[in-house]
Amino acid sequence: MLEIQGPGGDWGVLPILGHLGPVPVPAYEVLVSLAVLAAAGLLLHDTRDRPRSGRVIAIAGAALIGGGLAAKLAEWAVEPTTTAALGWRTLAGGRTILGGLLGGTLAVLAVKRWLGIRGRHGNLLAAPVALGLAIGRLGCFLRGCCYGTSTSLPWGVDFGDGVLRHPAQLYETAFFVVAFVTLRLVRPRVTAPGRLFSGLMVAYFTFRFFEEFLRAGARLPVGLTVYQLLAAAGLALFLGREMLHARGSHPEELANA
């Protein structure tokens, strides 16, 4: 199942918000645009008292570009047949948050190494990322992508086929809202550089691994989905990084939080 594409037709809770003349206004694209703007605005607000050395801009740019490309490439790799059938429409669709987070992280590491940027700046990015993903998942809900398996629970949602399903998108929105509030509350007390972003990623990859059991989609012979394997890889990556930094950290690095 594509993370972005539903079956089409009337699928989705509110895939079209309205019309500007004859032009439809798609809910997903609007919410994703708002998510990017909100995340960027919060990052600018949180760095307003810092010198504009270009480091934060370079890191944020790497995360955005690398994450966007990896999100699309990962989805194409996971669902090659379905994305090929979509043709040109897959340019706007066909992306996965898991691939985006992993790709964005690797892009940031590569850019930091290339530019010789020392220190970790993840504490600045954690809350903006959580805010953006919380808003973006609302777009998924309205469009009807990333839907869950059938359920008899009272909050089940019919996305267009008469079957009540887990609103997996709203589960993720709730997760990121809680994460965002938590990050804003604990940030003044966290001095270890990069710890907040790593904590967010560890929490999300763990959450996503188990949430996949409630999502519709193909299963591997072992009973897991490809996305669970990606979540496990992300969890290993961030836990491993934190272990390495814990072993090699120095007191002066705390100033780079």
254 is a domain residue: no
224 is a domain residue: yes
The number of distinct structural domains making up the chain is 1
146 is a domain residue: yes
SS3 state at 12: coil
- Give me the domain span that covers residue 63: 16-249
Tell whether the model's pLDDT for residue 225 goes beyond 50. yes
What local confidence, expressed as pLDDT, does residue 153 receive? 96
Considering only CA atoms, which of 69, 70, 47 is closest in space to residue 123?
47
CA angle, residues 75, 78, 80, in degrees to nearest 5: 90
Tell whether the model's pLDDT for residue 191 goes beyond 90. no
Considering only CA atoms, which of 184, 179, 180, 56 is closest in space to residue 120?
56
How do residues 80-123 score in pLDDT, each as one tens digit?
Answer: 555 544 444 444 554 577 777 777 777 767 766 776 666 666 78
pLDDT confidence of 251, banded at 50, 70, 90? very low
How do residues 131-182 score in pLDDT, each as one tens digit?
Answer: 999 999 999 999 998 899 999 999 999 999 899 999 999 999 999 999 999 9
Average pLDDT, the chain: 79
What local confidence, expressed as pLDDT, does residue 254 receive? 35
Task: Give dist(CA 240, CA 234) in Å, integer.
Answer: 10
71 is a domain residue: yes
255 is a domain residue: no
